[in-house]
């Protein structure tokens, strides 16, 4: 018996499905408030000093937060190669727009305060807004399209062919999911500013964060109703080879109305996830209005966990369904890397993920405290 066979292939696949969810939630919960603050910047800050306060609440931590984005992409590449190949080729233009928006953010952080010129700084402030709003919108649109199925197929050699277009991604349900993503992250950003800022910036953040929290509740509920009433889901037909070869074409799958709710009917405890999405947003709304500084960011984090978990649990075991050839759909059981690869990656993750978590916790502890106008306008220290 070799070392990697100590854990069954089926268990390893399930572990990596969970880990992928953890990485996506970690990215949304950390880099999400960075994007939320960027999207809120034109609304919560009216003067240059106020904008510097908002920017400096995330300035010291945004680079570390993007580690989760890199880890998520790396996990998809190494654990689910077909998912990486199909999604990054099919969503190529959308990914390019996201990356372009994300590139604007570090450039804006570094160059915004290099010149004491209102027009110069205003231009970079709008770059920060784009870097926050655009990725949040497109990530949600991508999830909306995945739930509807992506127009790709596999030939007998497992070569993928994508037959969609960029503008085809901009359908009503996907745009609704995009708006839900934006409202969710703006709510999260409002909670972060309520915790880290003071005065007018914090007050406006509470107001706009409350609006975003209410929008999150409404949009999440509406998306669920649309998914139940109008969006067909996917089912595997016949026996599932949970430890079989990584070949999506060995299974049969079909499209059926209401199929995305099969898992919730079979395991009612999973309704905890959508409940967390709604209750977390409601608690964020109440706490933002009640001026509890620490509670809104925690409540919005619970909502993010619930919303993302709701999608993952609904789709399981599918990770990328095909709208033109359901048999080509990628699932947890038939599109992973090899047994040995997943085991080696798990060993690496067990060693390094705690290090990332420990470093992140240490960094937040060192940088804890509110950002004030006196700090960012004073001569001592380094501020954006």
Any idea where the domains of the chain sit in the sequence?
Answer: 3-377
Asked whether the predicted pLDDT for residue 74 surpasses 70, the reply is yes
What gap in Å lies between CA 121 and CA 367, rounded to an integer? 25
Reported confidence tier of residue 381, pLDDT bands at 50, 70, 90? low
Reported confidence tier of residue 5, pLDDT bands at 50, 70, 90? low
Reported confidence tier of residue 63, pLDDT bands at 50, 70, 90? confident
Indicate the average pLDDT of the chain: 90
Reported confidence tier of residue 6, pLDDT bands at 50, 70, 90? confident
Asked whether the predicted pLDDT for residue 333 surpasses 80, the reply is yes
Query: Model-level pTM?
Result: 0.93
Reported confidence tier of residue 353, pLDDT bands at 50, 70, 90? confident
For residue 356, the model assigns a pLDDT of 84
Beta bridge pairs of residue 153 = 161
- Average pLDDT for 76-102: 89
- Average pLDDT for 363-378: 80
For residue 305, the model assigns a pLDDT of 97
H or E element at residue 225: helix 199-229
Name the phi and psi angles at 9, rounded to 5: -60, -40
User: Mind listing the pLDDT tens digit for each residue in 109-129?
Assistant: 888 888 888 899 999 999 999
Asked whether the predicted pLDDT for residue 323 surpasses 80, the reply is yes
For residue 11, the model assigns a pLDDT of 93
Top pLDDT among 6 and 1 is at 6
What gap in Å lies between CA 24 and CA 79, rounded to an integer? 14
User: Mind listing the pLDDT tens digit for each residue in 145-204?
Assistant: 999 999 999 998 888 888 888 788 889 999 999 999 999 999 999 999 999 998 899 999
What gap in Å lies between CA 91 and CA 169, rounded to an integer? 9
Name the phi and psi angles at 161, rounded to 5: -125, 120
What gap in Å lies between CA 369 and CA 342, rounded to an integer? 40
- Average pLDDT for 193-217: 95
Asked whether the predicted pLDDT for residue 262 surpasses 90, the reply is yes
User: Mind listing the pLDDT tens digit for each residue in 263-287?
Assistant: 999 999 999 999 999 999 999 999 9
How distant, in Å, are the alpha carbons of 130, 229, 311, 313, 332 from that of 271? Answer: 35, 18, 11, 9, 21
């Amino acid at each position: 018996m070799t070392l990697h066979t100590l854990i069954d292939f089926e268990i390893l696949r399930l572990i990596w499905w969970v880990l992928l969810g953890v990485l996506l939630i970690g990215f949304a919960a950390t880099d999400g408030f960075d994007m939320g603050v960027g999207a809120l910047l034109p609304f919560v800050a009216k003067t240059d000093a106020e904008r510097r306060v908002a920017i400096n609440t995330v300035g010291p931590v945004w680079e570390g937060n993007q580690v989760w984005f890199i880890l998520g992409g790396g996990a998809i590449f190494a654990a689910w190669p077909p998912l990486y190949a199909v999604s990054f080729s099919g969503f190529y233009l959308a990914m390019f727009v996201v990356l372009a928006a994300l590139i604007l953010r570090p450039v804006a952080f570094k160059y915004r305060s290099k010149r004491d010129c209102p027009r110069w700084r205003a231009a970079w402030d709008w770059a920060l807004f784009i870097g926050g709003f655009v990725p949040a919108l497109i990530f949600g649109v991508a999830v909306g399209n995945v739930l509807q199925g992506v127009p790709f197929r596999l030939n007998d050699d497992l070569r993928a062919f994508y037959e969609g277009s960029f503008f085809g991604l901009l359908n009503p349900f996907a745009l609704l999911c995009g708006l839900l993503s934006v409202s969710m992250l703006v709510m999260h950003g409002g909670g972060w500013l309520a915790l880290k800022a003071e005065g007018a910036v914090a007050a406006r953040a509470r107001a706009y964060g409350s609006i975003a929290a209410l929008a999150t509740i409404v949009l999440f509920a509406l998306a669920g109703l649309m998914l139940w009433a109008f969006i067909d889901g996917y089912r595997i037909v016949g026996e599932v080879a949970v430890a079989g070869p990584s070949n999506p074409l060995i299974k049969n799958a079909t499209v059926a109305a209401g199929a995305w709710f099969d898992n919730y009917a079979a395991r009612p405890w999973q309704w905890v996830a959508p409940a967390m999405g709604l209750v977390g947003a409601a608690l964020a709304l109440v706490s933002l209005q009640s001026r509890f500084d620490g509670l809104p960011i925690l409540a919005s984090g619970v909502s993010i966990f619930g919303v993302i978990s709701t999608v993952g649990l609904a789709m399981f075991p599918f990770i990328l369904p095909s709208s033109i050839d359901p048999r080509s759909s990628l699932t947890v059981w038939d599109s992973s890397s090899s047994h040995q690869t997943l085991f080696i990656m798990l060993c690496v993750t067990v060693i390094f993920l705690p290090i990332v978590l420990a470093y992140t916790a240490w960094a937040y502890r060192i940088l804890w405290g509110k950002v004030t106008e006196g700090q960012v306008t004073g001569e001592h220290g380094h501020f954006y």
